[in-house]
Structure 1
Amino acid sequence: MSEIKPKIRIGMTESSIRRKRILMAVVVIACAGGAYAAYNYNQKASVVEVPVAKVRRGEFRIVVRTRGEIRSVNSTTILAPQVPELRIVTLAESGKMIRKGEVVVEFDAAQQEQNLLERNTSVRTIDSQTVQTQASHRIVTELDGMNKMTAEYNLERSKLEASKAEVVSEIEGAKSRIDVGISHGELGQVGQTINTHKATQRADMERMEQNKDKAVRDVNRAKGYLSNMVLRAPSDGIVNLLPNFRTQGNWGSSPPPFKEGDRAWTGAAIAEIPDLSELRIDLKLEEVDRGKMELGQKVKVRVDAIPDREFDAKLDWISPIASVQWRGGGMTEKSFPARATIIGNDKRLRPGMSASAEILIESNANQLLIPTRASFSSQGKPSVYVQNGQNFTVRLIEVGKRNDNEIVVLNGLKEGEAVTLENPAEAARKQKKL
């Protein structure tokens, strides 16, 4: 007879077995809940935030960006005159309206007034010396005349004595003839002396005339200097004071404009009175951009002081020669000066304002565009990460031209699709580190 194993172990009741089964069921349910919670937590933690952009259709533009300064096309520059040791004592206020004939710059005239006084004194001194010289010449001329008359008288008397040779002794006759020769010699010597005196007098008068001419020129020059001590406005306009390049400013900053008390040099551009009806922007082009430029290209100008308006301009001049500027420490900066005339006007525009410019090199309408940041390389070819719900798919694309911000897509994308601006895998790694 085979043994029959009991279904209930010895010492265990039916109720204790039921409690054990219930406890095990609770443990299993709790473990399942924890696993589900951990799964959901990991799923939430794995959500990666990646910046995306929409594929758009629009105008593709290639532009060159640079900085410049507003200038007047037609302006009158006030230049320092050709006068030594100029010092500014009065200067019109920059940005102030000025009328024709009003004082723009006045220089210290004290030195020139002193110079004019000295030159006039020199002229008067030379006139006095000329009068004295002429008086001396008259005295010498009169003495020379008397000496000539005396010599002629002596000659005639000697001739008279010689004529008595027939009635006097032979010795007396010979003596008289000798006296006649001596008188002839004295008369000739007096004539030579007179000629010498005349030549000396002519030289003296020529020297006095030269001194007088020089003194008069000095007077006229001093008067001219004095007349240039005040520079007036040739027309109505607004005064714009120009930089004083001989004044040391802060390193890396532009020289300060002229001010009262500054010294100027001949030909220094102190101020300008611009014609505000026609303005331009002076630009500096980088060497790498010079080859892209053509006259007539459109320019968009934004003036720093007028942020609410964009001005149109046209590129009308590019320097064929580069301009080199020294930056100190042996460093140089090479650029090509250029100009663009602003189309239209605004009463707020003033010469000297700083501005930024965009020179339009190329423009193509109705192009499929993505940001430059959205393009990546996959298998050595251009690609993008296209968003599909919470997932991202790598897709190869065909690209065309590009600028600093956008790329033209020729094939592989549709308008409105979302592409990432960052590699999702790299974004995930960055997020895990955080």
Structure 2
Amino acid sequence: MKEAKPTRAPRGGYKTVLVLILALVAAGALLWGLLSTGGGSERNNPQGKATFKVEQGPLAISVAQSGTIQSMNQVVIKNEVEGRTTILYLVREGTRVEKGDLLIELDASRLQDDMIDQQIRMMNSEAAFIRARENLEVVRNQAQSETERAELDAQFAAEDLKKYVEGDFPKDLMAAEARITISREELRRAEEKLEWSRVLFEEKYISQTELQADELAAQRAQLDLDLALAELELLQNFTYRRKLDELRSQEHQTAMALERVRRKAAADVIQAEAELRARDSEYQREQMRLKKIEEQIAKTRIHAPNAGLVVYATSTQATFRGNVEPLAEGQEVRERQELIYLPAPGSVKAEIKVHESNLDKVAVGMPVRITVNALPGRVFEGRVANIAPLPDAVSVWLNPDLKVYNTDIEILGNAEGLRTGMSCRAEILVADYDEALYVPVQAVTRIDGVPTVYVRKGGQFAPRTVDVGLDNNRMVHILDGLAVGESVLLTPPLESSRPRGAGQTGSQAGQPPGGGRG
């Protein structure tokens, strides 16, 4: 039977071919069961099997993904007002603005009220600060005055002690000794006079009364001497000691009082300084709060930092429930919420998501062909600029089994007509072979993890190990193991495959049959 070269069926005819293949497999299994008791049958019967002759020619390996046109350099305008606030004015989307143009005005009435209250608090804090500053000067002055007074008291007490020991006491001592000397001299003279008076009285020269007066004078002189001696003893044994102890105690008390005054003065000054620092800190904090509120009020009017085309952030955002609510006047926005994208004109890129099965094929710098749905017939050239190191978190959250990596495609040359948000399709050119052997990816299966094809040998198909390279999800590059013109089975036996990941081809298991070698 002459074998005709198979042609590719249209996409609508794949289901019919699959039904025929399954029917043939079921019929073969039934026939094998019927004949197994009669000595067996040929399990590799080629009749009715779809085959493909190994071809050699140009083969392009590429990865095609849909994506969106985005600005290469765009400014993201965010709401920097704390809490939630309402949009009072919003520039129309699609408007071309210049640097300094008003984009958004937010409600600042609450902040205006807060600013008035804060101004009152700041003035009260300023008054407290001034009062604390003046109080510090008063405390320092008073502390200096009290310290000087205590120092004088201590100095006078020390001088009084020295004055008594070196001046008053020696003077009193000399006075007491002088009185004793005088009293003794007066007593001697009184006694001599009394003795002469007695002689004269015996001679009848003086009267009895005159003699008695001289006796009385002698007694008075004796008493004065005794009194002077007693005063000297009192001065030495009692007055001096008491006065000395009193002055020493006074000196010690004034010295301790001076120490107390100094410590108290230092404590008062430190407390006043601490109070001043606290009031100063509070005043500065109130000033910072007022400045922050003023800055928040200024941020309610958002101006364009550069020229560009206005794109609402909500126009490019979506959730698992669908698109988010469009940005509009009267809408409440939260802090740090993205409001407007302001792309720089003339600098665009394509953003696509590359499936994890194609990561080993794609690399930074690879050329890319880009087509845009809104610009039919135009093809833009580009290159892979960046591949995210981690899978897209939103896609993983929506479908944990789907791992795609955000990839940026830099558009080279003239990008006129491209606008942010346009849908596009990017074809990454992984490899381009002028002459390469290739077979359909479904012809390659894995037996014990080794790429294998079933090659016609006479009237049967025998498994043969091959070395495969990259595939483009339709054709796989054969590096070794096949020759041009050999026929391979497009539907390898099901029992030859292994568990998922070992017996599936690149199109079935999400990876190239050869593990990405090229």
Corresponding letter in the other structure for 1:217: M
How much has 1:71 moved relative to structure 2?
A: 1.0
Rate the CA distance shift 1:410–1:264 in 2: closer, same or farther, 3 A: farther
2:266 is aligned to 195
CA shift, 1:69, in A, is 0.4
Cα distance between partner residues in 2 of 1:410 and 1:272: 55
- Aligned twin of 1:263: 333
- Encode CA deviations 1:199-257: one digit per residue, 9 max, x unaligned: 22222222222222323333333333333332221222101222499x98562x34455
Deviation at 1:102, TM superposition (A): 0.5
| Cα distance change on mapping 1:120 and 1:289 into 2, 3 Å | same
CA contact (8 A) 1:104 1:233 kept: yes
CA RMSD of aligned residues (A): 4.6
Query: Aligned letter for 1:85?
Result: G
Alignment of 1:402-421 (within 5 A): none
Q: Which residue of 1 aligns with 2:83?
A: 85
Q: Distance in 1 between matches of 2:472 and 2:94?
A: 40
By percentage of residues, which structure has more helix?
Answer: 2
How far is 1:95 from its partner?
A: 1.6
Do residues 277 (structure 1) and 346 (structure 2) align?
A: yes
**212, 215, 224: which one aligns with 2:286:** 215
Q: Which runs of 5+ in 2 are unaligned?
A: 1-15, 17-56, 174-234, 443-453, 458-467, 478-482, 487-518
Q: C-alpha separation between the residues in 2 aligned to 1:156 and 1:404?
A: 108
Note if contact 1:86-1:263 (Cα within 8 Å) is conserved in structure 2: yes
C-alpha distance 201-301 of structure 1, shift in aligned 2 (>3 A): same
- What is the match of residue 428 of structure 2? 359
The 2-side partners of 1:184 and 1:64 are apart by 97
**Contact 1:151–1:190 (CA under 8 A) maintained in structure 2:** yes
Structure 1 pair 192–244 and aligned structure 2 pair: CA distance change class (3 A):
farther
Between Structure 1 and Structure 2, how many residues are aligned?
333
Distance in 2, matches of 1:402 and 1:328, equals 29
Contact residue 136 and residue 276 of structure 2 kept, 8 A: no
Judge conservation of contact 2:380–2:415 (CA < 8 Å) in 1: no
1:64-213 residue pairs with structure 2 within 5 A?
Answer: 64-81=63-80, 83-89=81-87, 90-137=89-136, 140=139, 144=143, 147-148=146-147, 151=150, 163=164, 164=168, 166-167=171-172, 170=239, 173-174=243-244, 176-177=246-247, 178-213=249-284
| 1:36-66 Cα deviation digits (max 9, x unpaired) | xxxxxxxxxxxxxx9xxxxxxx976544331
Give 1:67 deviation, angstroms: 0.8
Q: Quote the residue 2:410 is aligned against.
A: 341
Per-residue CA shift, 1:250-302, capped at 9, x if unaligned?
A: 62x34455444232333x44322212313221111122222233444443333
Radius of gyration: which is bigger?
A: 2
Whole-Å separation in 2 of the counterparts to 1:358 and 1:60: 15
Alignment CA distance shift 1:186-1:372 (3 Å): closer
CA shift, 1:370, in A, is 13
Q: Gaps (5+ residues) in structure 1? A: 1-49, 51-57, 374-378, 383-399, 413-434
Higher mean alpha-carbon deviation, 277-286 vs 90-99, is at 90-99
Take 1:403 and 1:142, find their aligned partners in 2: how far apart are those partners? Answer: 93
In structure 2, give the amino acid aligned to 1:351.
T
Within 1, Cα distance between the matches of 2:112 and 2:414?
A: 46
Query: Which residue does the alignment assign to 2:496?
Result: none
Alignment of 1:299-314 (within 5 A): 299-314=368-383
Report what 1:10 is aligned to: none
Q: Whole-Å Cα distance in 2 between the matches of residues 156 and 85 of structure 1?
A: 68
Does structure 2 conserve the Cα–Cα contact (< 8 Å) formed by 1:326 and 1:332? no
Q: TM-score, normalised by structure 1?
A: 0.61
Q: CA deviation at 1:128?
A: 1.2
Deviation at residue 351 of structure 1 after TM alignment: 0.5
- Displacement of 1:380 after TM fit? 7.2
TM-score by length of 2: 0.52
Partner Cα separation in structure 1 for residue 476 and residue 400 of structure 2: 36
Change (3 A) 1:180 1:343: closer
Matched, 1:331 2:400: yes
Residue identity in the other structure for 1:339:
D
Q: In structure 2, how many angstroms separate the alpha carbons of the residues matched to 1:117 and 1:92?
A: 30
- What do the CA deviations read for 1:131-154 (whole angstroms, capped 9, x no partner)? 333454455556556655665665
Q: Which amino acid aligns with 2:335?
A: W
| Whole-angstrom distance in 2 between the partners of 1:363 and 1:135 | 86
| Matches of 1:143 and 1:362, distance apart in 2 | 92
How far apart are 1:76 and its partner, in Å? Answer: 2.4
SS at match of 1:340: strand
Is the Cα–Cα contact under 8 Å of residues 299 and 360 in structure 1 kept in the other structure? Answer: yes
CA contact (8 A) 1:318 1:338 kept: yes
Q: Does 1:233 align with 2:304?
A: yes
286-295 vs 131-140, greater mean Cα deviation: 131-140
Q: Deviations over 1:334-370 (max 9, x none)?
A: 0122222334446542101122233344556799x99
Measured in 1, the distance between the counterparts of 2:135 and 2:323 equals: 67
* Equivalence map 1:7-26=2 (5 Å): none
What is the aligned-residue identity percentage? 17
Q: Tell me if 1:350 matches 2:419.
A: yes
For the structure 1 residues 71 and 88, does the alpha-carbon distance in structure 2 shift closer, same or farther, using more than 3 Å as the test? Answer: farther
SS of residue paired to 1:214? helix
Query: Is the 2:65–2:427 Cα contact (8 Å) retained in structure 1?
Result: yes
Cα pair distance change 1:241/1:188, threshold 3 Å: same
- Provide closer, same or farther for how the CA distance between residues 102 and 173 of structure 1 changes in structure 2, counting only shifts above 3 A: same
Aligned equivalents of 2:355, 2:419: Cα separation in 1:
26
| Alignment partner of 1:289 is 2:358 | yes
Q: Is the 8 A contact 2:59 2:433 kept in 1?
A: yes
